[in-house]
Amino acid sequence: MKTNQFMEKAIRLSLENMRKGLGGPFGAVIVKDNKIIAEGYNQVTANNDPTAHAEIVAIRKACSILGTFVLKGCEIYSSCEPCPMCLGAIYWAKPDKVYFGGTRQDAHLAGFDDSAIYRELTKSLSERKIPMIQIMRDEALMAFHEWVEKKDKLKY
């Protein structure tokens, strides 16, 4: 397959599943060695899961199939520029490349506006719309201290 064929598949997933009422108009595929290994489409409303974005669904499937949490050697094709949550997941998964169709501005015009999240990320904790209140830091640090000392940890 060629690059455009992978994007065509992601776009087809976005259309088919949106038309079925399974979620918003977003689709994604993950490719390794020039072969689609995982597909995802938006399932937020179908599953009552705000994290069930196309890219997240595809990443979960690809990692399960490959038996790893790192997608080195893979490419992600998304029908739209990834939102902040998906972008974070993509960076954690470490694919080689991401291709996308529509832009975040296109998504905004269709009613999917992530600009508030982008703005929130630049604010201090005390200025955020949803209160972010730190408590029990010393107790929480115990897990980090143990992690640093753990000899058999699997780093990521």
* DSSP assignment letter at 67: T
127 catalytically annotated: no
29/49 Cα distance (integer angstroms): 20
Q: Under DSSP, is residue 62 helix (H, G, I), strand (E, B) or coil? A: helix
List Cβ<8 Å contacts ≥24 apart for 108-111.
Answer: 110/25
Q: Which of 55, 75, 127, 146 is catalytic?
A: 55
Q: What is the CA radius of gyration of the chain?
A: 18
Residues designated as active site: 55
